[in-house]
Structure 1
Amino acid sequence: GSDVKIEKGVWTIQSSQDGLKVPDDVIDCGNSGTTYYFATAISGTLNDYVVLTGDYQIRRRPVGKLLEAMRDLGAFAVTTRINSNAAPVIIKGPMKAGTIVFGGKMSQYISGMLLAAARIEGKTRIEVQKAIERPYLQMTVDWMTEHGIKIEYDEKNYSFFEVEGPQEYRTVETSIPSDWESVAFPLVAALVTDSEIVIEDLDLSGSQGDSVIVDILKVMGGDVTLDGATNSLKARGGNRLRGTTIDCSDIPDALPILSVAACFAEGDTVLTGIESIRVKETDRVEVMKRELSKMGASIEDTDHEMIIHGGKKLTGAKVESHDDHRVAMSLAVAGLFSDGVTEIGNAECVSVSFPGFYELMNGVGAGFETE
């Protein structure tokens, strides 16, 4: 029921005076998992039926634990597919306040229920058995706090959250910071191609957990310098990276590009905390293993870790993005330090999170060709 006005660099959202309305049609979330999980949870606060779906990748992503939690609070929440754990889903609220428990592997479930909890009368408690992707949970709390919502939570381990509702979201004027996951691709590209690059207008507030990639690459031997005065970084290639062990549980989106950096490193790199990464747009562990192996990489994986035996010379090959934007950009970076031509199928999917990626990279000499 909101009115959204989009101008260059500015989105203006005017909420309906009557609050959220039940949509007249199915909500198609496209390829956005965040939209899908958040909208599913919020739909549980409405007193009528809402149907949500998405593209073929969204229709494979698990939603069962979220639906179970919503049912525990009194909502009707089911998938339309027999013996399936995925969209399309049908939701009817309203949910009632109570206590729900999540295993902690999917932060988007928790964030979605936090957003919904502010609209539920009474105290809603969310218990988390073992929280991962914790920076995303903190970003959710910070965003809700900025909009006037009061939340009690375990600031150390994120083991519980409590929201007393209903509370009203207040309007704000805010700026969306630059995305550290997008920064990671040109950053790693510079380090593995003996190049030098300066990236400006960074968010150095520490609010994004993915900014830890700078520290990770430094541990691996990368020459990266942050400048707080100008909110920029400088990366210089030329140093051979070193293998290390990296816990990806809080930075799941970084695994594809970190696996590429690991191929360039001497020795073994072990990526741990990978369980939730198998249920993103793709099983990114399996996909990166498969596609980088086509280029000559030596990679093994178990349920809990991915091991990259670095130092192997990569050779250009025909590889597939699997319609996963982060996989496509990571393979493009891998192609920059490989012998021969690398051809990426469905490479245009990068537009999901980084429109203009190839053009921007070509602006600093990458030499990508698109069809």
Structure 2
Amino acid sequence: MAVFKYFKKENDISDIAAARPVKRIAAGGDKSVTHRALIFAALARGTSYIRNPSLSLDCRATMAALASLGVGHKYDARSKTITIEGCCGDFNEPAGPIDCANSGTTARLLMGSLAGASGARFILTGDASLVERPMLRAAAPLEKMGARIALRSGDRLPAAITGAKLSGAKHDNTHNSAQVKAALIFAALGASGRTEIFEKYPTRDHSELLAPQFGVKLKKTILKDGGSRITIPGRQKVSAADIKIPNDPSTAAFYITLDALFQAVHSKRLYIKLPSVLINNTRNAFFECLFDSGFDMIYTNFGGRGFVETAADIEVHYGGYSPISPQMIDSPARVISMIDEIPLLALVLSLAGGESVIRGLAELRVKETDRLTAIAGELNKMGARAAIKNNALVIRGVKKLKGAALESHNDHRMAMTLIIAGLVAGDDFSVNNCECAAVSNANFFRELKKLGFKFHIE
């Protein structure tokens, strides 16, 4: 277990924030898109090229899982490209359980991909955190299609999958889960008949946007009630593709928040620019909240450059700092869109003044840790005033946070949020189990050093 340690005496904020050329921080390829592209490529016939993929531990778990299933791939560091040889969904039975490590995305997407491998048997497992996360939300709708999935205690990994012939079905995405939606899309490709997925609120739509790149036919219809229906014909052949992935907005959000709060708290700008960040309406809510709070989000170099989705360079300028409008954070659709950024949003609100309430956060309780309890408790150690009421986070803004001995709870987003909070506070602080940041950002500490911060990892 590694500990991140920061000492005020070793860091001169004026020097760190001194005017100098803009610092370009690469957030790395989007994690969500990378997972889905890897599995589409595995289901395809022929050789696919995935450029600028995420090399997070989560995505490495998907790569390793596919390798154990007989899907050949290699990564070229010079071109930042994964070459993957598709197997048309004809997966090998591995000699032992497939280790999904800490990646819920890997586990749930593989459930959908393997469910139709008729007659083959697979076991999915993971680390101590993953085996306690809910899996029935993916298994139950797959079973409706004829899948045979046995879960420990009815809802947990390990999952024993016996491949079966699948039939199309109608599904309501009741958990508002993009992972469940993706699992159903992958299963539908080999099923007989048509599959329909209904969503009340929009979830990440990377699966739908990637599908045509791999020759997959699906149709998305916006319904009169504002929801949507995704229709996927069965028995489809997947084609190989050559795609380039934009950089991850959820990772970019940490650096943008650091620069924004440095300007608000210390009146000093860090001059961070995040190039080629994915711009997607199902992922933009956090940046919209920053804008509503008074920060100017500057987008340049929109589109182009051959990415599979729209990308732009992002900077943040201080234009004031106030509580975020209630309507910006009291919308189920917005909370779903920024569920990964809620810890960061809590940090922003802790310094914004006034009282803010974020509702509908039950999903945070079944992440790598109970993120709702964890973020409130850790920010309160730093002098914040956060409370939990009926799965809502109530935050009363304070003028300044202080350093403290903090716990990541072995959760990558908690670790990075607390490190950003500590750097903004500027006092001595530590974060235990900081190495888990690599689950989603393999280069987090390297980029902080590039910005001029001095710290120790022991």
State the TM-score, normalizing by the size of structure 1.
0.91
CA pair 344-110 structure 1, distance change in 2 beyond 3 A: same
In the TM superposition, what whole-angstrom CA distance separates every residue of 1:164-190 from its partner, at most 9, and x where no partner exists?
111111111111110001111111111
Matched, 1:292 2:359: no
Contact 1:257–1:330, Cα closer than 8 Å, also in 2: yes
In the TM superposition, what whole-angstrom CA distance separates every residue of 1:129-183 from its partner, at most 9, and x where no partner exists?
x33xx241x2111111221111123335454322111111111111111000111
Could you say which residue in structure 1 is the equivalent of 2:247?
Answer: 178
Matched, 1:90 2:160: yes
In the TM superposition, what whole-angstrom CA distance separates every residue of 1:194-222 from its partner, at most 9, and x where no partner exists?
22323142235x33633333221111011
How many angstroms apart in 2 are the aligned matches of 1:228 and 1:214? 17
CA pair 256-356 structure 1, distance change in 2 beyond 3 A: same
How many angstroms apart in 1 are the aligned matches of 2:231 and 2:250? 30
For structure 1, the 5+ residue unaligned runs are none
Contact 2:135–2:156, Cα closer than 8 Å, also in 1: yes
| Displacement after TM superposition at 1:355 (Å) | 1.3
Could you say which residue in structure 2 is the equivalent of 1:244?
Answer: 325
How many angstroms apart in 1 are the aligned matches of 2:241 and 2:227? 26
Contact 2:252–2:277, Cα closer than 8 Å, also in 1: no
| Displacement after TM superposition at 1:191 (Å) | 1.3
Matched, 1:59 2:131: yes
Matched residue count: 364
Which residue identity is paired with 2:350?
Answer: C
Contact 2:135–2:155, Cα closer than 8 Å, also in 1: yes
Q: 1:141 aligns with which of 189, 205, 208?
A: 208
Deviates more, 1:190-199 or 1:95-104: 95-104
How many angstroms apart in 1 are the aligned matches of 2:319 and 2:292? 15
Contact 1:74–1:93, Cα closer than 8 Å, also in 2: no
State the TM-score, normalizing by the size of structure 2.
0.75
Which residue identity is paired with 1:270?
Answer: V
SS in 2 for 1:66: helix
SS in 1 for 2:239: coil
Could you say which residue in structure 1 is the equivalent of 2:238?
Answer: 169
Matched, 1:369 2:435: no
Q: 2:144 aligns with which of 63, 69, 72?
A: 72
Q: 1:234 aligns with which of 312, 315, 320?
A: 315
Matched, 1:314 2:395: no
Could you say which residue in structure 2 is the equivalent of 1:31?
Answer: 102
Which residue identity is paired with 1:235?
Answer: V
For CA contacts below 8 A with separation 6 or more, give which structure has more relative contact order: 2
| Displacement after TM superposition at 1:271 (Å) | 1.9
How many percent of aligned residue pairs carry the same amino acid?
A: 26
How many angstroms apart in 1 are the aligned matches of 2:362 and 2:142? 23
How many angstroms apart in 1 are the aligned matches of 2:233 and 2:296? 47
| Displacement after TM superposition at 1:41 (Å) | 1.6
Which residue identity is paired with 1:344?
Answer: V
CA pair 17-142 structure 1, distance change in 2 beyond 3 A: closer
Could you say which residue in structure 1 is the equivalent of 2:222?
Answer: 155
Deviates more, 1:166-175 or 1:106-115: 106-115
CA pair 332-237 structure 1, distance change in 2 beyond 3 A: farther
Which residue identity is paired with 1:32?
Answer: S
Could you say which residue in structure 1 is the equivalent of 2:345?
Answer: 258
How many angstroms apart in 1 are the aligned matches of 2:105 and 2:294? 34
SS in 1 for 2:364: helix
Could you say which residue in structure 2 is the equivalent of 1:188?
Answer: 257
